Amino acid sequence: MRVRCIVSYDGTHFSGYQVQPQKRTVQGEIEEVLFKLHKGQPIKVHASGRTDAGVHAVGQVFHFDTHLTIPEERWPYAINSLLPEDIVIVEANYVDEHFHARFDTTAKEYRYRIDQQKMINVFKRNYSFHYPYKLDLSAIRRACTHLCGTHDFTSFCVAKTEVGDKVRTIYSIEVIENEKEIIFRFIGNGFLYNMVRILVGTLLDVGQGKINADQIPTILEGRNRSLSGKTVPGRGLYLWKVHYDN
């Protein structure tokens, strides 16, 4: 039986999602719990993709196979009772054996939170990027219209990214203002390594007047990481939702 889970985690104290030796990772914690529930049988977990150190998830998705006959609504409680408190399984469902959490995604939504208050807020320090500088949101929104659509995003991913095809489609970018906070909401068919964080860094440069919004097409065409802005910190980033066809 294949189980699909929606999982939420506070990325603050993790070295990212993916298992790494000697590091505390989200996948490592989940696989350890499944190993215990399956009485010592190793269970491999497949997620929609990785998230980096400090990056959070509201609705990451993974699947695994099991021979246990636990009713689906009991799975979250069974796993959560053994998980550390910074990971919570929100929902679990039995799915078709052909479902794959990574290969079947149709879209992903990421959000990035920017704290615009003058003084850093202790309660947001791990959950947003403190950036108290004035931003021209209309310039940022103009830059967003240039970024939406299907483009080669070589200029917006880590230079050493090994994926061959760097063409991705961004369906929408929303800029939400919410009392001294700005939230960027990205929906796309997929995102390259560090892509959302470089997009945000570049949009902040646009908002500060360091990059003109209408330079974005040239930056995309240049296919060179050095043309875009800085990579903003992981702590402001949330994998918000993973979409599938169904």
Q: Residue numbers of the site for a copy of itself (CB under 8 A)? A: 8-10, 56, 76, 85-88, 90, 119-123, 125, 127
User: Which of the following is catalytic: 10, 52, 104, 245?
Assistant: 52
* Nearest to 215, CA basis, from 146, 141, 160: 146
Of the pair 57, 211, the CB lying nearest a copy of itself is at: 57
Annotated ligand binding at 110? The verdict is: yes
Residue 96 CA: distances (Å) to CA of 40, 43, 60, 102, 110? 25, 18, 19, 14, 26
Pick the closer one to a copy of itself by CB: 75 or 153. Answer: 75
E strand or H helix that includes residue 196: helix 195-207
Name the residue nearer to a copy of itself (CB basis): 54 or 76: 76
Q: Min. distance of Cβ 9 from a copy of itself in angstroms?
A: 6
205 is catalytic: no
Strand 237-244, strand 129-130: pairing: unpaired
Least Å distance, CB 129 to a copy of itself, is 14
SS3 letters across 31-88 = HHHHHHHCCCCCCCCEECCCCCCCCEEEEEEEEEECCCCCCHHHHHHHHHCCCCCCEE
Query: Where is the binding site for substrate, in residues?
Result: 110
Q: Would you please indicate which residues are annotated as catalytic (active-site) residues?
A: 52
